[in-house]
Structure 1
């Protein structure tokens, strides 16, 4: 749970949806089988210093997550996903829980990469890194939503993160056709923008802040950079191309599906 307080978390709702709203006998059977493990997790979270409540809902997971997020006015939705990348995880199948929440979330969304380990002969799930504040990759398209995401980077730095990379990808597919001759100008302007953000982070306590502006496919360039030892990717979702994202999937969603580390997505204001 290290790093959670840096994104404003004080209280945790440990949530589980049974997915069997209309089958009472099965609903209670499943509840009885999962509740002991959930109570155990609740106690672990409490020991980390978080006020923690447990809520078990009967309905469809994706619907129940959105309902509770709205009713409780949560500040962050956290979902764990194990494996090398979320793309191969069952929750990311078309219509899967994480996929549905990811494409409709109105609250900040943290996808935590996890790994299954065995302790004293008992399987347990742990985050892929002990502290996601270790090395942050912030990807921006300079939209208002990306700026909202940068505020979270500032908070994480204030909470102790020392290493951040500020990344903006010059989109090859958009520039190649008619704007190739202006690439140097674009990169110069964007470097100045990122320098201002770098100075903000240095003032807040960061020590190692790098600026990178690669030229290529945004999703692929972000994923390529993310392999350099990062513990968290932070970016806005539903940025400049919101309408297109509804049909083809946004860069942020594709990164969340394929990244091998945790991803924090900050949604657009609606």
Structure 2
């Protein structure tokens, strides 16, 4: 199970919704939360920071709220370079994942997500859950069913293999649905003969079936596999739009073993274009 979550706190209008997400995650096995706020060293140097008492009061308020859901909660305020402090804390604190918020699937989502979050996503060695803010939400347990319908996107790379134990940890009840999706990306098939493509399909269907049997053995009762051909981003987004998963699980690196976050690849594009939460694995 996911036991311990690091939540980097940025004081915005959406923070209450993120706290509600943490409360909802208590229903999925989360036991501990660290509310972690970094005062940027640039704010101190430019004498722009004067809200420490307010920050502490809000963190204490959210700590008390989350404790009512049986969570062990601590908060910490440090000064430094935010993304570096977050990464350092995540790696030293044995956290299950980092929770970060995003505004959704608009063209300017990259700007709204913020440079700190971008760097955390890019450099984190622990998984990152990117939660998409809901415009009509006014609080509450918004993440309590976040693992109800899981879309696991795999390209059978080592990065995708690392996703498997995290998907296993998302199992909380026997009513959950797991969809395992593999896309034969047309960009990789331009110069491939049709008979070779048929061979690829046969091999990948066998791989998908093996994954299905694996997840059934660990307890998933409703597992479906899907092999499609097209452009990975379009296929994943189209499938997510029609099947309405509650979360998308994807590896950060593809078969090239290069960080897609640096190349504008599948995982990065999903983070910005999907209106569904994305669970990103290093």
- Alignment TM-score, normalising by the size of structure 1: 0.84
Alignment correspondent of 1:249: 264
Assess, with a 3 A threshold, how the Cα gap between structure 1 residues 42 and 159 changes in structure 2: closer, same or farther: farther
Give how far 1:260 is off. 0.5
Alignment correspondent of 1:63: 84
**Within the alignment, does 1:74 sit opposite 2:95 as a pair?**
yes
* Aligned equivalent of 2:189, options 175, 182, 190: 175
C-alpha separation between the residues in 1 aligned to 2:38 and 2:233?
A: 32
Give how far 1:180 is off. 3.9
Q: Count matched residues.
A: 258
Assess, with a 3 A threshold, how the Cα gap between structure 1 residues 160 and 20 changes in structure 2: closer, same or farther: farther
Aligned partner of residue 165 in structure 1, secondary structure: strand
Alignment correspondent of 2:247: 232
**Contact 2:151–2:249 (8 Å) recurs in 1:** yes
* Aligned equivalent of 1:139, options 153, 157, 160: 153
Aligned partner of residue 42 in structure 1, secondary structure: helix
Aligned partner of residue 110 in structure 1, secondary structure: strand
C-alpha separation between the residues in 1 aligned to 2:63 and 2:131?
A: 17
Residue segments in structure 1 that go unaligned for 5+ positions in a row: 119-123
Give how far 1:220 is off. 1.8
* Aligned equivalent of 2:130, options 108, 111, 131: 111
Assess, with a 3 A threshold, how the Cα gap between structure 1 residues 246 and 209 changes in structure 2: closer, same or farther: closer
**Contact 2:101–2:113 (8 Å) recurs in 1:** no
Give how far 1:135 is off. 0.5
Aligned partner of residue 146 in structure 2, secondary structure: coil
Assess, with a 3 A threshold, how the Cα gap between structure 1 residues 54 and 100 changes in structure 2: closer, same or farther: same
Give CA-to-partner distance per residue, 1:74-108, whole Å, 9 cap, x none.
Answer: 23111122344595253435xx1111111111111
Alignment correspondent of 1:223: 237
Aligned partner of residue 212 in structure 1, secondary structure: strand
**Contact 2:252–2:281 (8 Å) recurs in 1:** yes
Alignment correspondent of 2:20: none
Give CA-to-partner distance per residue, 1:94-138, whole Å, 9 cap, x none.
Answer: xx11111111111111111122557xxxxx556765411110000
Please show how residues 255-270 of structure 1 align to structure 2 within 5 Å. Answer: 255-267=270-282
- Pairwise CA RMSD of aligned residues? 2.6
* Aligned equivalent of 1:101, options 108, 116, 120: 120
Q: Decide which moves more: 51-60 or 13-22.
A: 13-22
C-alpha separation between the residues in 1 aligned to 2:264 and 2:211?
A: 27
Aligned partner of residue 224 in structure 1, secondary structure: helix
Give how far 1:48 is off. 2.0
**Within the alignment, does 1:189 sit opposite 2:198 as a pair?**
no
C-alpha separation between the residues in 1 aligned to 2:255 and 2:141?
A: 31
C-alpha separation between the residues in 2 aligned to 1:86 and 1:15?
A: 29
Assess, with a 3 A threshold, how the Cα gap between structure 1 residues 157 and 53 changes in structure 2: closer, same or farther: same
Assess, with a 3 A threshold, how the Cα gap between structure 1 residues 92 and 35 changes in structure 2: closer, same or farther: same
**Contact 2:27–2:144 (8 Å) recurs in 1:** no
Give how far 1:179 is off. 4.2
